[in-house]
Structure formats: C-alpha cells, structure tokens
Amino acid sequence: MNDLHLWLGIGSGIILFIICLTGTVLTFEEEIKSVFSDEILVSPKAETLSIEELTEALASEGEVIRVSINPKDTKPYEFSVKTTPEDRRGSLFFVNQYTGEYAKDVPNALDGFFMTMFKMHRWLLLDISIGRPLVGIATIIFLILSLTGIVLWFPNKKLKKLKWKQLKPGLKIAWHAKWKRINHDLHVTLGFYTAIFLLIMSLTGLFWSFEWYKEAGSAVLGAEVFGARGGGPKIDSKLKKDELEVNFTAILEIIEQELPYKGTTVLQIPKNKKEIYRIRKYHDQDFLQTATDNLIIDRDGVVLSKEIFSEKPLNVQIANSIRAIHLGSIFGWFSKMIYFISCLIATSLPVTGVIIWLNKLKKNSKKKSKKKIIKA
C-alpha cells in the first residue's frame, strides 16, 4: 500500500500539481472577476417596462433568446441576444427594466487568464483528444492516492486495538519540531483532513473525462448525469388560433404563484407561435444555491410541467448537481471556501510528498555509507 501510494504519487505529481493549482484558482473565478469589473446597478422606479417592450428595444441587436431576472430591484435584467448565426449561446446585454436603456457586456480583463486556467485544468493546454484522457487518468490516480492515504494514516495495528493516543499525533502538526517533521505532518495530517473532499472532487471530475464513466455513474445513480441539458423534450404549443394568448406579464405572475420564493428567474423567449415558455428559477437566495425548479407554460398560461428540485428523489438531485458538487458552488460561499482550502492543500501534497521521499533517500544513503565504513 505504501509503495503504491509512493510511486503513483511520484509518477503523476506534476500533472496533479497543475490540476489542483488551476482548480484552486477557478474556485472563486466569478468573485475574482467581479473585483475587476464595475457592478451595474439601476435606480428602482414605481413601474417596470414589460418584457415585450424590452425585447423590442433589443431587436436591432439580434434575436433575443432569454432573459434573466434578479430578485433585487437594483439589478438590471440580463438578456441573451443572438447577434450572429455563429453566436450560439448569445451575447449578454444589461437592460434597465425601468427605462429600457441597455449596454452590452464588455469582456473582463481576466477572461483570457481564467480561460487558460480552465483549459489547463481540463486538458493541460493540449489537444482535447489527448489532454482529456490524460487528466482523467491522473484523476483516477488521485482517487487511489486519496484512498491509500486514508489507509496509511491509521497506525499499523488492528482497528479494535487502536486507542485515541495512537490516533492523536496524526491529527495535529508539530509546529515546534524540525522542518522534516513539519513537512511530514503537513502531508499526512492535512491530507487526512481534506481526503473526503478530494475524493468527492475526483469522483465527480471523472464525469467530464470519460464517457464510459458518465454512463456507469448514471447507471449507479439511476438518473442521467447532465441529462437536463438542451431544455428537455420539444413541446409545441396546444393553443388554437381563436384562443387568447397571455403576455409576459401574466407569465411572470404565474411563475410567482407556482414558485413563490425569491430567486433568479431565467425565461426562454419563444421564437414563434408554436413554442412554449420554459422557465428555470434558482434558489440562489437560499443555502442550496444551485438548486433549480423548472416550469413549462403554454402560451395560454396553462402550466404543462412543474419540476420542484426538493421533491425529486435523492439520486436525481445528486445527478442534477454533479457540476455544482465538483465546483463547490452547491452551498455558495460556504462550500467554495472549503473547496478552496482543500484544493490549496491538494496542490501542496505532491510537493510535501516528494520532499518526504527525498529525505528518506538521503537517510537510506547515509545508512548504507555508514555500513560500508563499519565493514571497512
């Protein structure tokens, strides 16, 4: 077990160092970016303009595909506009919901840096076909290292005979000891404390590396991982020509009735008369910030589908939250801070581990030289 932990760690040390370091940086990407950009706020007024009016104001920029409404009245509406046929996801526009004035989102000064960090984290800046499996293999090794590290942390005795005084040294760092002992404790103790979070990161990270792992994980969970992408099945409106169609204001009222809590609402803008309204509402004001509830509303205001996250089976909730669990964003700042510290420690583990190995090599070489002198 010790040899497996040692040689797998040495063989993958550099790659794991890069993956963990970039993961640490990416944990607070949005928060760091916000420091280098001006926050856009609006002055609240008695009435807001309708979505129809705001959509018309943006029509000259391209095809409006969705709107995001923040529960805070000082936050502008965020519209995604397909400015060109190649602009698949749409460009972001901030729109003052009280005046109709809008401004296109400008690139952040750190966009290039974080994109490089992302590519390094996912593909090591290599071609995707090469980098993705390499990162996947390194992640599997990291998973094995975490498991073997937990086993090696325990004293070499039977569990029944273990006593607290035997476990206690592995739970603290001897700061007043020599630097070799401190380095050893930094590797062993900090590695033990973060092991559970590193296991979670590894198990969830593999969903992006291997298709077989995603399929196997979906089978184990009993729910498709990343299955919510694409907006769900295509549903045409059942509204007949002579029936009355509701406007966006009525749709927003229905959303408030069906989902009566504060949270960011994302509304897909129908392209034509056949399309229906698809709505996602985030629990971003609650502890479980990444949970989303979904509504599908027909053009006459009839609710065709309603999915409440908290009412879904636990396995489905986990499958839908894999990305948030891996990024540490599932509980907002609380979980992000835990992940940041864990990733920072994980970045140090290859370094402290190699130092422990080098110290042992020096110690063994000194023993051999002493033996030669004695024999001579």
Task: Put the strands of the sheet holding 91-95 in their side by side order.
Answer: 102-104, 91-95, 77-82, 63-69, 265-268, 277-282, 292-297, 303-307
Q: Is 68 helix (H, G, I), strand (E, B) or coil?
A: strand
Q: Which amino acid is at 161?
A: K
List the CATH number of the domain containing 78. Answer: 3.10.450
DSSP codes, 74-142: TSPEEEEEE-STT-SS-EEEEE-TTT--EEEPPPPTTHHHHHHHHHHHHHTTS-HHHHHHHHHHHHHHH
Same domain, 79 and 123: no
Residue 145 lies in a domain: yes
7 and 139 part of one domain: yes
Same domain, 167 and 26: yes
**Amino acid of residue 137:** I
Residue 332 lies in a domain: no
Residue 50: strand, helix, or coil: coil
Residue 244 has what DSSP assignment?
P
Number of domains in the chain: 3
DSSP calls for 258-327? HS-S---EEEEPPSSTTB-EEEEEE-TTSSSTT-EEEEEE-TTS-EEEEE-GGGS-HHHHHHHTHHHHHH
User: Is residue 242 helix, strand or coil?
Assistant: coil
Cβ within 8 Å of residue 46, ≥6 positions away:
none
Task: Measure the CA–CA gap between 339 and 334, rounded to whole angstroms.
Answer: 9
Nearby residues of 169 by Cβ (< 8 Å), 6 or more positions away: none
- Verify that 45 and 151 share a domain, yes or no: no
Q: Give domain status of residue 164, yes or no.
A: yes
* 227 close to 219: Cβ distance less than 8 angstroms: no
Do 12 and 54 have their domain in common?
Answer: no
Task: Judge whether 349 lies within some domain.
Answer: no
82 and 63, same structural domain?
yes
Angle made by CA atoms 228, 224, 210, in degrees to the nearest 5: 105
Nearest CA to 346 out of 123, 137, 146, 133 is that of 146
Per-residue pLDDT of the chain (376 residues; tens, 9 = 90+): 999 999 999 999 999 999 999 999 999 999 999 998 888 999 999 999 999 999 999 999 999 999 999 999 999 999 999 999 888 889 999 999 999 999 999 989 999 999 999 999 999 999 999 999 999 999 999 999 999 999 999 887 666 677 878 888 889 999 999 999 999 999 999 999 999 999 999 999 999 999 999 999 999 999 999 875 555 667 888 887 777 889 999 999 999 999 999 999 999 998 888 889 999 999 988 878 889 999 999 999 999 999 999 999 999 999 999 999 999 999 989 999 999 999 999 999 999 999 999 998 888 777 777 666 666 6
Domain residues for the domain of 126 are 2-33+111-210+356-367
Q: Copy the structure tokens of residue 118.
A: 């992302």
Based on the domain organization, do 138 and 236 belong to the same domain?
A: no
64 in helix, strand or coil? strand
